[in-house]
Structure 1
Amino acid sequence: MKNVYDRIRRWRTERPKTFYALAGISGLVAAGVVALVVVYLMVNAGAFGPMPSRQSLLDYRNDVGSEVYDVTGVSLGRFYAQDRTVTEFDELPDHLIQALVATEDSRFYQHGGVDWEAYGRVAYKTLLQGEDDQGGGSTLSQQLVKNAYGRPRLGYGPRVDLLLHKIREGFLAQRLESVMSKDEVVKRYLNTVSFPGNTFGIAAATQRYFQKPPSELSVRQSASLVASLKGTSSYDPLRAPERNAKRTDLVLKLMHNAGYLTEEQLTDALADSLGLNYHRKSEEEPLAPHFTQAVKREALRLLADIQRPDGEPYNLYSDNLSIYTTLDLRLQEHAEAAVERQMTNLQREFERHLGRRDAWETEASLRGAIRNSQRWRVGRAAGRDSTALVEEFNTPRPMELLVPNGEPISGEFTPLDSVKHSLSFLRSGFLVLDHSTGAVRAWVGGSDFDFSRYDHVLSRRQTGSTFKPFVYAAALKKGYDPCYRLSNALRTYEDEDGPWTPHNSDWNHGGTYSMHGALTHSVNVAAVRMIMETTPEPVVEMARRMGLPGEIRPIPSIALGTVESNLFEMTGAYGAFANQGEYAPPHYISRIENADGEVIYAHDAPTETVLESRTAAQMQTMLRYVVERGTASRLRWQYGITRPSIGKTGTSQNMADGWYIGSTPTLTGGAWVGGENTGVRFRNGNMGNGSHSALPIWAYFLEKVEADTVLADVLGEDFPPLPAEVQRDFYCSEFIPPVEVVEELEGDDVEEPVQALPVSGLEPSDNGTR
């Protein structure tokens, strides 16, 4: 050992320059080795980005969004951040794979994830020549890792960041190929990479540009799509056809050089036409669009509380979930047809009714619509003052005015014209559910999703006379019976706003009604008399128990429907009347499965008894009278619906809202019709009431379903028979006129007690206005 030290000392003394040079080089090598070890350890520790395990790499799935299905398994649409569909390896044509390998990674089948020759070239260009070589040197496996896990910003500068990312991706690429075959790498790459037109994955790209699956691509079409990977915007075959064609020829020649194409095949491919057949699929093409938007919101809410195995919440847009809903697309189609039919007829009546008048009754209604418009709200959010916005609203420009279920009107219009045009159309919503379970079967948020995406199944409006059944249900619960007599005489009450005198819409007053007669003919004065006797608090409690969570003030005027609610809540509540007092909360997602088919959410909400059996039977009978001879009797005499039905019409103040909620033995449906705001309305009760505006939607729906031989049975046969003791509760006159009128009618026919649901055959009016 001493001899070694002596030789080093002599060397250092006799040849100092050589000694120190070798010592410096050795130190640099040692430092380099230490640096590489440190970098290796830091890379594996995730200091430069995530380092998934071999199993995580194997389990990685492309972001293909989530599919939504109806109750029969029909797809309603997908939710995705990127338009992507998975294509299996055996569906990929050989020439597509060959084009990809020849162009992007010519030694793909020789390396184990890293092409060291290309790697050295990138390091040389990046560090020594200062070139920003973003794509060179990366194998398909490295690109797959980059696409899957991204490149977080490290903060060391672009060149150093790039080098560190390349090192990390090299490690991951080798790890990837240790657990995955070359075929699987190619499959995952082509399902991950982005193509032109904001498409992700080969299936989405071939469908967008050629209207065919990948398996049917020609050699030139495959080469064209691979050519576009160099720059999805710069080499887009639609927007940059010459640049794409030039690079496509290069890809074909690379395929020939790699031995994938013969001379003859190359010549044919170079001469072949591309056969572009571009079709941009709208992002809003789901079936039942208002419904699918509601499903999206509900799914996001549910998934926020459900964790994946890695502890993160499921992602609706990337985790390939299957969302099974309660919607029956067959019933949905009948519901949409019923809404379109009624709204087309009603709109024509509305326009004839208005004549030369504006659809909006006051300037306040127009101003409100302007301020609610997207243009105004965006302008105000950007800090623009009202004066500038008013000027903009009066400046003509080319635009299209949409027409519900019709062709748009093109021309020079001002934004104010657009607001007025939109205001002139009536709106509607329609919901159908299975009241035994609360499962939504049809959901129509409007007559045309493109015209208005606002969902009127969820919009809150005054309920009008559809609230009256809660008043009478609360009275029955307190011990009143259906024959209890209520005065129809005008009376003034004191409330928080001062004296108040409710009246009937037909201005006929006097005499007395039985409770069931008052509901049958929707008598306002009697309804207020009833709530004054029971007090409002039990009515509020009853409405709450039956699924109305919104604000309900315990004041007498709620008997006339000043309460605001929506179709989702009201239809669910009425389902309890049809379901023998059992309330099933409405729902529309039955279960959610992850990509492995595991159920991660299942609906489980038991029904709740909200009405005792006798009260439920009484209410069901009272609502059946409404259909047989009351405000909803046009269901029989005008539309010819004979199936057992119960229901109630409703009209809010000034005919701003028309409602109808009805049930067959198995289904409950709610319809609403009104303007964009309460200032857009019919000006008289005969046309604006719920029996004329909303009830026909339910009638047309029943008509369509009854004519459908496959679906007719879903409406049910009949309600349970009325117990004998409940039948006796209705042995009384619906209406007894004032004494002076009775004396005048001595010897003439006077109304006899009601028995067993006779049908009057008369056309009543809806008395549901305050």
Structure 2
Amino acid sequence: MSEKLSPQDIRKYNWYIWRFFIGCFVFVLLLIGLTSFGIFGTLPSLRDLENPKSNQASEIISSDKKILGKYYVENRSNVTFKDISPNVINALVATEDNHFYQHSGIDFWRTFSIIFYNLIGHKQGASTITQQLALNQFSSEGRAHNVINRFVQKLKEQLIAVRIEKHYTKQEIITMYLNSVSFGSNTFGVASAAQTYFNTTPARLTPDQAAVLVAMLKGPTLYSPIRNPKNSLTRRNFVLGRMVEEGFLSKAEAEECRAKPLGIDYHPMNHNEGLAPYFRSVLKDDVKRILSTITKADGTPYDIDRDGLKIYTTINYTMQQYAEEAQREYMRDLQNQFNMQWKGVKLSAKIKNFKLLIDQGIHQSDRYHELKAQDMSEEDIIHNFYTPDTLNLFTWKGDIDTVMKPVDSIVYCKMLLRNALMSMDPTTGYVKAWVGGIDFEHFKYDQVKQGARQVGSTAKPFTYAVAIDNGYSPCYQVDNVPITIKSPGAPDWTPGSSPLETVPGMITLRTALAHSQNWVTAYMMNEVTPPPVVELIKKMGIHTDVPPYPSICLGVFDATVMDMTAAYSVFANHGIWTEPTYLLRIEDKNGNEIYNHTPKVRQVMNDQNAYVMVDMLRSVVDMQGATGNRLRWKYNFTNPIAGKTGTTSDNSDGWFIGVTPKLVTGVWTGCENRDFHFRTTRMGEGSNSALPIFALYLKKVYADQSLGIKKNIDFELPKGGLTTVLDCDLYSQQQKGTNDVDKKLSF
């Protein structure tokens, strides 16, 4: 038998045990004290707790309060507690921290009983929601993997959690947590997650959707509904079970939710995808330039990708959709027309500067620069371009992977038609839709603001506007015959005119503009001279170089879609030029306005002359056989529309600028290089290559009554009433009467 312990031995062993526990307690207190004093790393200050740092995405907001896109390092958006569905809150608390509303940051019962909880199947971690927030939001080093480091980190988390609980309400804590956690796919925060996985808002998440998102918190990849849908479904059902156990759902409700599929509507955020990518790219450069001139209250600069700014724009989400749809619908067909014209033709023999342009394309390509960065010789790079490889190409039916020589892909891209559209309100200058190209992922160059192209006959109204200002009537007649203009110090200039398109005899200025007659336009340029035309063009907002040559009357200068659209808005806006505006204001993440845009406005012609020009441009659409008349006979528009087509030499550029009382829209179509073009005017003219996109877009806009753009509104008369005679029959009678009086007086 073993010897019994004496009372003295028992007291001695008890003392050892008590010393051990007291020592451990003192050691823990010492660690806590050292941690709180920052020996193991600084803890966040009260200011840090009140202003937690996070990489919060900046949002681009449309005029109809929808998110067009985001600028971010991490796709993270913040929402308030009231904007989060109770389903999300309940699922989170039930699964991650069922004592959340009872503890003060540290759940001691949870900490010491975690082993028991896992044994009975509750599968809970030891950290409370507040501790997880402390790690996510206020720990810069992330979760430590070393046991000792993790122990120290755990102490810091608990101290921070206690501080958080002292300074924030439970609602604020759970909101901060849901705004900070990762949901995979570079998506942070419940707002971004709701949009990415269910294409909805946090406020509209159903119990089963909320359970899917909360399930991902255990492991964003392991329980991803995209990568691991089976795991996601199992974990979702577990979360629903926890919600039943905690009284947030009835068994019947849970069973109904379990019976549903995951129901994912996946919309990953991508800078190349989504609405208005060209616009968003141009806007980002503008906003960064603005932010470089202002600072935060603490003197630090703003970061567009991290500071959660709200960028309010004039773009209408729905109209932008319609514009992009119109482009896709028609450009697919137009590209087929283009390809058929070149089918079987040896390009190198028919296209001017073919070899030079392909060589330039090689040296400007991303592939060339990547190979150059690998220190590959020029000879090897060229060999690479003539060696077949698997390439990804854009088509109007979707991207395709194909095997071809990279040099052939250069030719393929050169033969792709590009297109751009901008639509604006002529009275406010607000840009409503912006389509800068055909596919941002493959072709990032914006053709609305950054790319200037030759404007062709869309320049003709500028010459006629100066003529009207000089007293000429739209009914003034000119013999439509060839004319040669002599200019001091410059060669004589004689414009051409297609025999099939020439209207013979004496014709009015109205008819000349409607049928885009070169000789009459040149005659009027000779009458008014180039300098005043250049002056007007500049006043109307054309920023590119416009030389004072007679040929500018036929549009042999370059301009952007934005500038030309704004210039035509002058006609619809009583002669007032309003700066095209697409950025309204910028707010910081707290809703404080840090920038507000004030557009420039100037009167560039009187309202009488502006109205006369609108009336003349209406003839482009209304007059039978006129260049824009297909808006009537093909697209069946019956409402007031003015506009002008434009086609440049060799059919390289096709334009149409359509003017309605509430909307002015400019459309351009052409290849990347002007030497690649339509082979016939019938296909390449603006009425075929640009006008149809305007028509399809406007039909969609008019059909959507929620936009409030009514089609039967007419152009407003000048404020003092119209004094110019627009009826050419009446004008002829007046002229005859005047001539008769002159004859009598001459006797």
Q: TM-score, normalised by structure 2?
A: 0.72
Q: Is the 8 A contact 2:479 2:506 kept in 1?
A: yes
- Residue 200, structure 1, aligned to residue 188, structure 2: yes
Give 1:727 deviation, angstroms: 0.8
| Equivalent pair of 1:347/1:426 in contact (CA under 8 Å) | yes
Matching residue's letter, 1:713: K
2:357 matches 1:365: yes
Q: CA 1:52–1:215 in 2, change beyond 3 Å: closer, same or farther?
A: farther
What are the Cα deviations for residues 257-310 of structure 1, in whole angstroms up to 9, with x where unaligned? xx999xxx9xx9xxx999888776332343344344444444444444455444
After alignment, is 372-381 or 685-694 more displaced?
A: 372-381
Q: Which amino acid aligns with 1:148?
A: Q
CA RMSD of aligned residues (A): 5.1
Structure 1 residue 504 corresponds to structure 2 residue 499:
no
Alpha-carbon distance in 1 for matches of 2:607, 2:259:
75
1:137-536 map, 5 Å: 144-145=133-134, 147-149=136-138, 151=140, 173-181=161-169, 184-201=172-189, 216=207, 225-228=216-219, 281-284=267-270, 285-357=273-345, 361=351, 362-380=354-372, 383-404=375-396, 406-449=397-440, 452-458=443-449, 459-477=451-469, 482=474, 483=476, 488-491=481-484, 493=486, 499-506=491-498, 515-536=509-530
Partner of 1:16: none
Which amino acid in 2 is paired with 1:489?
A: P
Deviation at 1:624, TM superposition (A): 2.7
SS at match of 2:556: coil
Question: Cα offset for 1:161?
Answer: 11
Q: CA deviation digits over 1:687-712, x for unaligned, max 9?
A: 21112221222233344444555556
Measured against aligned partners, the alpha-carbon deviations of 1:621-679 in whole angstroms (never above 9, x if no partner) come to 33233333343233334443332222211112211001111212221111111112212
Q: Distance in 2 between matches of 1:187 and 1:416?
A: 54
Tell me the equivalent position of 1:70: 62
**Contact 2:88–2:214 (CA under 8 A) maintained in structure 1:** no
How far apart, in 1, do the equivalents of 2:518 and 2:198 lie?
A: 64
Unaligned runs of 5+ in 1: 1-32, 119-135, 735-750, 755-770
Q: For residue 573 of structure 1, what is the aligned residue in structure 2?
A: 567
In structure 2, distance between residues paired with 1:95 and 1:706:
45
Name 2:714's counterpart in structure 1. 717
Equivalent of 1:625 in 602, 619, 624: 619
Q: Does structure 2 conserve the Cα–Cα contact (< 8 Å) formed by 1:210 and 1:276? A: no
> Residues 602 and 393 (structure 1 numbering): CA distance in 2 closer, same or farther, change over 3 Å?
same
CA contact (8 A) 1:585 1:607 kept: yes
Deviation track 1:345-394 (CA, whole Å, cap 9, x = no partner) reads 32232222223126782333333333333322433455544322222222
* Alpha-carbon spacing, 1:467–1:383, altered in 2? closer, same or farther (3 Å): farther
SS in 2 for 1:663: strand
**Native 8 Å contact 2:530 2:549 kept in 1:** yes
- The aligned counterpart of 1:57 is 49
Q: Which moved more, 1:681-690 or 1:422-431?
A: 422-431
Match of 1:550 in 2: 544
How far apart, CA to CA, are the structure 2 residues paired with 1:380 and 1:495? 50
In 2: Cα distance, 1:526 partner to 1:379 partner? 54
Is 1:690 aligned to 2:682, yes or no? no
Structure 2: which amino acid aligns with 1:679?
A: D
Task: Give 1:21's aligned residue.
Answer: none
Residues in 2 aligned to 1:389 and 1:202: alpha-carbon distance in whole angstroms:
47
Partners of 1:161 and 1:526 in 2: CA distance: 85
8 Å Cα contact 2:181/2:217 also seen in 1: no
Query: 2: CA distance between counterparts of 1:684 and 1:703?
Result: 28
| Other-structure match for 2:631 | 635
Q: Which residue of 724, 727, 742 corresponds with 1:726?
A: 724
Q: Whole-Å Cα distance in 2 between the matches of residues 74 and 647 of structure 1?
A: 31
Structure 1 stretch displaced more, 676-685 or 375-384: 375-384
1:612 and 2:610 correspond: no
Q: CA deviation at 1:408?
A: 3.8
Shift of 1:420: 2.9
**Contact 1:68–1:77 (CA<8 Å) still a contact in 2?**
yes
Amino acid at match of 2:378: S
Moved more, 611-620 or 595-604: 595-604
Q: CA deviation at 1:576?
A: 0.3
Give 1:434 deviation, angstroms: 1.2
The residue identity in structure 1 corresponding to 2:498 is D
Alignment-mate amino acid for residue 71 of structure 1: S
Q: Which moved more, 1:417-426 or 1:309-318?
A: 309-318
Task: Find the residue that maps to 1:287 and give its secondary structure.
Answer: coil
Decide whether the 8 Å contact of 2:497 with 2:519 is kept in 1. no
How big is each residue's C-alpha offset from its partner over 1:47-88, in whole Å with a ceiling of 9 and x where there is no partner?
97795434x523547554244443333443444332235474
Q: Secondary structure at the match of 1:644?
A: coil
Secondary structure at 2:725 match in 1: helix
Which residue identity lines up with residue 361 of structure 2 in the other structure? Answer: A
Q: Which moved more, 1:283-292 or 1:670-679?
A: 283-292
How many pairs does the alignment contain? 662
For the residues of structure 2 that align with 1:279 and 1:315, how far apart are their CA atoms? 31
Contact 1:81–1:317 (8 Å) recurs in 2:
yes
CA contact (8 A) 2:197 2:267 kept: no
Letter matched to residue 484 of structure 2: R
Q: 1:236 to 1:57 in 2, by over 3 A?
A: same
Q: Verify: 1:83 aligned to 2:83, yes or no.
A: no
**Pair 1:211–1:511, CA change in 2 (3 A):** closer
Supply the distance in 2 between the matched residues of 1:509 and 1:89 (Cα, whole angstroms): 68
Q: Distance in 1 between matches of 2:346 and 2:584?
A: 45
- The CA deviation string for residues 230-283 of structure 1, in whole angstroms up to 9 with x for no partner, is xx679979779999999x99x99xx9xxx999xxx9xx9xxx999888776332
Secondary structure in 2 aligned to 1:726? coil
Deviation at 1:611, TM superposition (A): 0.4
Contact 1:197–1:236 (Cα < 8 Å) also in 2: no
Relative to structure 1, is the Cα distance of residues 219 and 152 closer, same or farther in structure 2, using a 3 angstrom cutoff?
A: closer
Give, in whole Å, the separation in 1 of the partners of 2:730 and 2:481.
Answer: 16
Classify 1:224/1:663 alpha carbon distance in 2 versus 1 (closer, same or farther; 3 Å): closer
Change (3 A) 1:732 1:348: farther
How far, CA to CA, are the matches of 1:334 and 1:243 in structure 2?
39
Counterpart amino acid of residue 454 in structure 2: Q
Q: Residue 198 of structure 2 contacts residue 266 of structure 2 at CA under 8 Å; is this kept in 1?
A: no
The code of the aligned residue for 1:281 comes to H
- In the TM superposition, what is the alpha-carbon distance from 1:179 to its structure 2 partner? 0.6
Amino acid at match of 1:491: T
Kept in 2, the 8 Å contact 1:211–1:279? The answer is yes
| TM-score, normalised via structure 1 length | 0.70
Which residue of structure 1 lines up, in the alignment, with residue 10 of structure 2? none
**Which segment drifts farther, 455-464 or 187-196?**
187-196
Q: Could you tell me which amino acid in structure 2 is paired with residue 326 of structure 1? A: T
Distance of aligned partners of 1:513 and 1:152 in 2 relative to their CA distance in 1, 3 Å threshold: farther
Aligned in 2, Cα 1:202/1:718: closer, same or farther, shift over 3 Å?
closer
Output the CA distance in 1 between the equivalents of 2:545 and 2:54.
45
Report the 3-state secondary structure (helix = DSSP H, G, I; strand = E; otherwise coil) of the residue aligned with 1:713: coil
Return the offset for 1:578.
Answer: 1.5
